[in-house]
Amino acid sequence: MIYSSYIRRNMIAVICIKIELRKSFEMGIPKDYNVEVVKREVVIPATVIQEHVLPFSNIDLTIPPGCFHVFFCYDKPFQTSFASVLSTQKSSLSRAFVSFPALAGRLVSHGNGDLQMVCNGKGGEFSEAYADTCIAQVEFYNPIAAIEGKLVPLLVKDSEGNSSPVFAVQVTEFSCGGIVVSCIFDHRIADSFSANLFLTCWANISRNESIGSITPSFTRSIFIPKDPSNYNSKIKNVYTKVQSFPQPNIQIPQPAITSRIYYLSAKDIEKLQQNANQNGNKYTKLEAFSAYLWKMLIQGQDIENTICCNMGITVDGRYRLTKMGMPSNYFGNVISLPFARARAEDIKKEPLSWSAKVIHDAIYSAANEEHFQSLVDFVEISKPSLVLPKICGFIDEPSIVVSSGLRFPLYKVDYGWGKPCLASYYLPFVPGYVMPTPSPYGDGSWLIYMNLLVDQLNAIESHPDFILHLISQNIYGGQKSLQFQPFKGF
């Protein structure tokens, strides 16, 4: 593969993580650096927003309290200063809020514990920060060590204590001039698709380009329950009633949880798919990868053969709810979390194609309008009880969730000084979470964010068929094909 000089230059300049990083990882000695937040301010919408309440849909109500981050690394801007970058970011964010009033609003808690999403124009926090190292020396392959407490903002309750912002951003300049833009979203307000819609809109405004079809739709009439409400009983195989959501853990338990960002080549992805598609089967690349990961996790751990193991796959309903009138630019949560379930013995001994079929069947069961309508009705009938994805309750069974970010054009989030050289989602408080996204190369390869229990990570990295590679100088130096061994199959 021949890369353009632009991509090659940026890959080397920004993500040139030194060979010594692999050695320091093996020794358990992370390289540290300091970040100083020098200014925090609130950016409000550019025009007055008439205060209104954005109703939660019944799908929103299945999302437990929690947030997710997305971060972007950029090379040093050559035609503008950091002060100009900050000014442009703030002014364009202010204008973007006009089209996305929910992200400039507040979650307001009432005395009875109910929450409302109030679009009141109070804005989102914008932090300006400086790091005392070169961006190329940051261990992005280890996000908890590299990012947590340094590059990501927090969502802090307002002084009254009864309302919370749902979006914040931190822009950090490194000693080399490189920049990291990191955002946090309250998941109850937006899923990854919605976040990407906003980020793309913000970037277009920053470049003085039209936002066109990026303008979001906030209609909630799509998810109105039937009258009378009814649902297919199969929905209880995926969701369950609970009295309360588990509270998010604001402390990262170390060393119980760890995170990594890996690279997976396009050739290895194709080989996984070919291996899964034996005997005339046809599975997607995501299904094949999920089956591969599931198999490695179970084979690499000392799990009794009779124990059931679960593989959750996030399904985005936007592409499947045409009859319900789903607009392609819907802002909110349109996700379901079905899961594959099998005994450890079967996952270990059966071929990759077997695991891929179990996963495929789980996805297929939820990838339709009947499933989402049943979920809407099940939530309605269950009130005042809450509804939670069933996989979240399997405490005594090995479980993992794969959420695809492969459709999201992260490398088009250009604010006017160039495309990002590295971008990834980041969910440090959700153990057993995996999210593949496109790599910066644009050649079909992936970057894969994993937040795992330490035992899970050890299981896959010690497996003889482990084919993922920590993002490193070799990857971003364009030498990956000279060093890595392709997948040979189980």
The pLDDT of residue 13 is above 70: no
33 burial level (CB within 10 Å; 0-12, 13-18, 19+): middle
Band (pLDDT 50/70/90 cuts) for residue 160 is low
The residue with tokens 């802002």 is 331
**The pLDDT of residue 323:** 78
Identify which of 210, 203, 201, 253 has the alpha carbon closest to the alpha carbon of residue 72. 203
The pLDDT of residue 27 is above 80: no
Q: E strands, 390-445, where? A: 399-402, 422-426, 433-438
Does the pTM surpass 0.85? The reply is yes
Distance CA(201)–CA(420), nearest Å, equals: 16
Q: Higher pLDDT residue, 11 or 126?
A: 126
**Residue 303's beta-bridge partner residues?**
none
**The pLDDT of residue 256:** 84
**The pLDDT of residue 479:** 40
152: left (phi over 0), alpha (psi -120 to 50) or beta: beta
pLDDT tens for each residue of 305-330: 999 999 999 999 988 887 778 888 99
The answer to whether the CB of 203 falls within 8 A of the CB of 413 is yes
59-73, 249-263, 370-384: lowest mean pLDDT where?
249-263
Q: Both tokens of residue 219?
A: 């209609």
Distance CA(305)–CA(385), nearest Å, equals: 35
252 burial level (CB within 10 Å; 0-12, 13-18, 19+): middle
pLDDT tens for each residue of 205-234: 999 998 877 889 999 988 989 878 889 999
Distance CA(31)–CA(114), nearest Å, equals: 44
33-37, 122-126, 160-164: lowest mean pLDDT where?
160-164
- The fraction of the chain above a pLDDT of 70, given in percent, is 86
The residue with tokens 């996305």 is 100
- Residue 144 identity (one-letter amino acid): I
Tell me the three-class secondary structure of 113-134, residue by residue: CCEEEEECCCCEEEEEEEECCC
The answer to whether the CB of 175 falls within 8 A of the CB of 132 is yes
**The pLDDT of residue 489:** 53
Q: Which helix (H) or strand (E) holds 108?
A: strand 106-109
Query: 164-167 long-range contacts, Cβ below 8 Å, gap at least 24?
Result: 164/106, 164/107, 164/109, 165/106, 165/107, 165/122, 165/123, 165/124, 165/125, 166/102, 166/103, 166/105, 166/106, 166/107, 166/117, 166/124, 166/190, 167/103, 167/104, 167/124
**The pLDDT of residue 5:** 30
What are the extents of the domains in the chain?
Answer: 5-223, 236-408+428-483
Band (pLDDT 50/70/90 cuts) for residue 18 is very low
CB-side neighbour CA atoms (13 Å) of 137: 13
Nearby residues of 372 by Cβ (< 8 Å), 6 or more positions away:
59, 223, 317, 320, 321, 324, 334, 336, 366
What do you get for the CA distance between the two ends of the chain, in Å? 27
The pLDDT of residue 246 is above 80: no
Q: Higher pLDDT residue, 29 or 381?
A: 381
Band (pLDDT 50/70/90 cuts) for residue 247 is low
Residue 104, SS3? helix
The residue with tokens 């679009």 is 119
So what CATH class is 236-408+428-483?
A: alpha beta
For the segment 174-191, the average pLDDT, to the nearest whole number, is 96
Q: Which helix (H) or strand (E) holds 267?
A: helix 266-276
**The pLDDT of residue 136:** 87
pLDDT tens for each residue of 386-437: 999 999 888 788 999 999 999 999 999 999 999 999 999 999 877 899 999 9
CATH no. of 5-223: 3.30.559.10
**The pLDDT of residue 122:** 95
pLDDT tens for each residue of 189-200: 999 999 999 999
For the segment 50-59, the average pLDDT, to the nearest whole number, is 95
Q: For residue 365, how many other CB atoms are within 10 A of its CB?
A: 19
Distance CA(138)–CA(31), nearest Å, equals: 8
Same fold: 5-223 with 236-408+428-483:
yes
**The pLDDT of residue 158:** 74
The pLDDT of residue 332 is above 60: yes
Ramachandran angles phi, psi of 380, nearest 5°? -65, -45
For the segment 115-120, the average pLDDT, to the nearest whole number, is 93
Q: For residue 128, how many other CB atoms are within 10 A of its CB?
A: 20
111-125, 411-425, 451-465: lowest mean pLDDT where?
111-125
**The pLDDT of residue 30:** 43
Q: For residue 108, how many other CB atoms are within 10 A of its CB?
A: 17
Distance of CA 231 to the CA centre of its chain: 30
The pLDDT of residue 24 is above 50: no
Distance CA(419)–CA(422), nearest Å, equals: 9
**The pLDDT of residue 392:** 87
Q: Average pLDDT of the chain?
A: 86
**The pLDDT of residue 210:** 84
